[in-house]
Amino acid sequence: MKRIEFRLDMPSRGSWDGGWSGAGRNYVIVRKLPATKAEELLRQGRWLYRWDDGWCACVTAREVPKGARLKKSDGFSGYEWMVANIIDHGDASHSKVQS
């Protein structure tokens, strides 16, 4: 099993000021995955999800080294479904149903 860290960012924002209230926060989820699944996801490493209003979410993945201590997560801002879709289907937008 490998520990994979998924990180959320909003590189494109359709807000009035171009900002995101979550900017600078540590939005990460760590999942333990079988080595073959982890390697498959790490090869792609980055997924985008775009909305019609100009917002775009970016989820990146990296392997967490053994013994590494991680900074406390601020959650995933309600977008946990993206990580579930990435793990299950290899695509952040496969299904918008939250798991």
Sequence ranges of the domains in the chain: 2-89
For the segment 34-40, the average pLDDT, to the nearest whole number, is: 96
The larger pLDDT score, comparing residue 14 to residue 64, is at 64
pLDDT of 18 higher than 80: no
DSSP string, 7-51: EEEEEE--STTS--TTTTS--EEEEEE-HHHHHHHHHH-EEEEE-
Check residue 3 and give its pLDDT: 97
For the residues 20-44, what does the mean pLDDT come to? Answer: 93
Count Cβ neighbours within 10 Å for each residue of 88-98 and write b for 16 or more, e otherwise.
Answer: eeeebeeeeee
